[in-house]
Amino acid sequence: MRTSGTPAATQPPVTSWILPRLLLVGLLGGTLACGDTGPSAPSLEDALSPTAAAYLNAALDIMQTNSIKRYEIDWEVLREYALRTAAGAVTAADTYDAIRNALAAIGDGHSFFIPADAQTGSGSSTNPEPTAMIMDGLPGVGGRFGYVSVLAFSGSGAPADEMATLYHRLIEGVDTLGVCGWIVDLRGNQGGNMWPMVASVGPIVGEGVLGYFVDPDSVVSTWTYADGEAALDGVVLTRADSPYDLIEPDPPVAVLADQRTASSGEATFIAFKGRPETWSSGVQTYGVSTANQAFALGDGAILVLTVSTMADRTGRLYGGPVPVDEQIGGPRSLDPATDNPLRLAMAWLGGRPACVR
């Protein structure tokens, strides 16, 4: 299940459920963490009902075992803090604020909590219809470019596949008119589900390894694109129907980003990092280039926890803002006279060998 949820105030409006696994954790009192940190102070647990204490400890165990900051946190102190803030809790729901406070104390900037009564199903959502078009080069520079905007998207299953298929058809419609390079616009893409986004730009970014997730134990997961399919460690997560291949493979690509490019939007940007004949302009991204994993608690609430850091195909780790090659601000107007990042992208593309005639 993936949902946009309502993240903490430090999160972008649409958060990223990047890793596909949803782990179910029962209403257990036993410790799930690696290593035995010993029982919490009895006086603290006595201030909660057994049900509330078991629920809160299960959530804290998940954090201790899986958090990207698991080796940086004093878990005994954090557990005592959480139990104190939950004093008087009787039901699982009574511990929700304590769980949110614990996530804030971890401070990874990307984790969040979805209460049991906030579930809305997998669903899907996008911004207004995606844009794909032909753009003629700047006067005196020349070139003819394909332009595609990649929008925030939340959803999985059939809606995700349909999104990727739509983008393949849009890219096909532009490519068959004849272009020498591409502009991929990720400005304003605040995240959601990265896999349909990666599959959507597959014809442009090209096949092969696009990036990695690296956890605190240096365990690496690999994300790839091939033949319409975006996959993690070989497991296909989104598939475009009748995938399209560009007439001219491996074109020059200019990517546009800004401070509202976040989470899965940042992952899509990172997919282009290290790619030959690729350049970017705009403003560095929001700064949550990390991977989240969803853990369902016993009452159906979901703990969305940051578990690893994004890396590009060269192995460069991010975790914070993803830089652009040339930083320049300005409104997103799609008019090169006023849209500074777009104008720079068109100037760069116009100078590439594939676009010089």
Question: Lowest-pLDDT range, 17-31, 56-70, 71-85, 93-107?
Answer: 17-31
Q: Which residues, including other chains, have CB under 8 Å from residue 206's CB and lie 6 or more apart?
A: 225, 249, 250, 275
Interval 211-225: pLDDT, tens: 999 999 999 999 999
Compute how many other C-beta atoms are within 10 angstroms of the C-beta atom of residue 296.
18
Q: How far is CA 133 from CA 89, 152, 196, 198, 334, in A?
A: 56, 19, 20, 19, 11
pLDDT at 142: 84
pLDDT attached to residue 187: 97
Predicted pLDDT of residue 36 = 47
**So what's the pLDDT on residue 2?**
34
Report the CATH number of the 124-293+305-355 domain: 3.90.226.10
For residues 2 and 286, which has the higher predicted lDDT (pLDDT)? 286
Q: Residue 20: pLDDT band by 50, 70, 90 thresholds?
A: low
Which of 293, 305, 356, 304 has the alpha carbon at shortest distance from 19? 293
**Of residues 5 and 43, more confidently modeled:** 43
Is the dihedral angle over the CA atoms 156, 211, 273, 286 positive or is it negative?
positive
The pLDDT of 288-314, averaged and rounded, is 97
Residue 286's pLDDT band (cuts 50, 70, 90): very high
Positions of CATH 3.90.226.10 in the chain: 124-293+305-355
Helix (H, G, I), strand (E, B) or coil at 195: helix
Average of per-residue pLDDT across 16-36:
41
For the stretch 238-250, what's the b/e string if a residue is b when 16 or more beta carbons lie within 10 angstroms of its beta carbon?
bbbeebbebeeee
pLDDT digits (tens, 9 = 90+) for 232-249: 999 999 999 999 999 999
- Find the mean pLDDT for residues 67-73: 98
What is the pLDDT at residue 357? 74
pLDDT digits (tens, 9 = 90+) for 27-48: 333 333 334 445 544 557 778 9
Q: Residue 59 pLDDT more than 80?
A: yes
Share of the chain above pLDDT 90, in %: 80
In this predicted structure, which of 61-70, 120-129, 303-312 has the lowest mean pLDDT?
120-129
> Does residue 169 surpass a pLDDT of 60?
yes
What single-letter DSSP state applies at residue 150? -
Return mean pLDDT, the chain.
88
Instruction: Tell which wins on pLDDT, 125 or 203.
Output: 203
pLDDT on residue 81? 96
**DSSP character at residue 94:** G
pLDDT at 177: 97
Question: Given this model, what pLDDT does residue 8 score?
Answer: 36
Chain segment 113-159, per-residue pLDDT in tens: 999 988 554 444 444 578 899 999 999 888 999 999 999 999 899 99
Please tell me the predicted confidence (pLDDT) of residue 90: 97
